């Protein structure tokens, strides 16, 4: 006699349990990456953007002052070539900072990659849980078990009867 839900067969589940643990760890890692983007990478990228904007404004002021002094006949305090190179670097840093903020922001490439990794990890967890569930066979309803074709210690493989 068996009751509904009673365990009929239990297969060795150690490997399946390890897969579930591994999948849960991957989900936690993907969630941590999203938090890292939100709490660290994006704020740092925004700070770098602010710094690049301030730096470029200062360089532009220096350049304008340098041009003004030159136009008034004063000796240039900073060689024009060096100031032009500094302006190019400042513009490049600003563009890089803008790209990093865009990438780390929701919908940006780093954010999308992290969200995709989380979705993949969650799907792998569902697969691992399903495989773990396959390690037990329970009675679908109450009744009398009249035969069994396996014995304790038998080796079974998927898709083999």
Q: What is the pLDDT of residues 7-27, one digit of tens each?
A: 988 888 999 999 999 999 999
**Between residues 115 and 8, the one the model is more confident about:** 115
**Between residues 74 and 123, the one the model is more confident about:** 123
CA distance 47 to 68: 31
**The whole model's pTM is what?**
0.75
Is the confidence at residue 53, as pLDDT, over 60? Answer: yes
Orientation of helix 80-104 relative to helix 42-71, angle to 10° = 160
pLDDT tens-place string over residues 116-136: 999 999 999 999 999 999 999
Residue 65 belongs to a domain: yes
- Structural domain tally of the chain? 1
Per the structure, the complete domain to which residue 118 belongs is given by: 13-135
CA distance 34 to 41: 10
Task: Quote the Cα angle for 147-148-152, to 5°.
Answer: 145
Residue 3 belongs to a domain: no
Average pLDDT of the residues of the chain: 91
CA distance 128 to 22: 9
Residue 62 belongs to a domain: yes
């Amino acid at each position: 006699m068996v009751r509904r839900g009673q365990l009929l067969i239990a297969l060795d589940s150690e490997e399946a349990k390890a897969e579930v643990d591994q999948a849960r760890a991957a989900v936690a890692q993907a969630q941590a990456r999203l938090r890292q983007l939100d709490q660290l990478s994006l704020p740092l990228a925004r700070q770098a953007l602010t710094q690049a904007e301030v730096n470029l404004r200062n360089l532009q002021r220096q350049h304008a002052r340098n041009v003004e002094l030159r136009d008034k006949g004063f000796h240039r305090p900073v060689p024009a070539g060096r100031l032009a190179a500094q302006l190019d670097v400042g513009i490049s840093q600003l563009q890089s900072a803008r790209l990093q903020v865009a990438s780390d922001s929701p919908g940006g490439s780093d954010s999308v990659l992290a969200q995709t990794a989380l979705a993949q990890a969650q799907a792998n967890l569902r697969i691992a849980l399903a495989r773990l569930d396959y390690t037990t066979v329970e009675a679908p309803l109450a009744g009398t078990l009249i035969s069994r074709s396996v014995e304790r210690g038998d080796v079974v493989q998927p898709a083999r009867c």
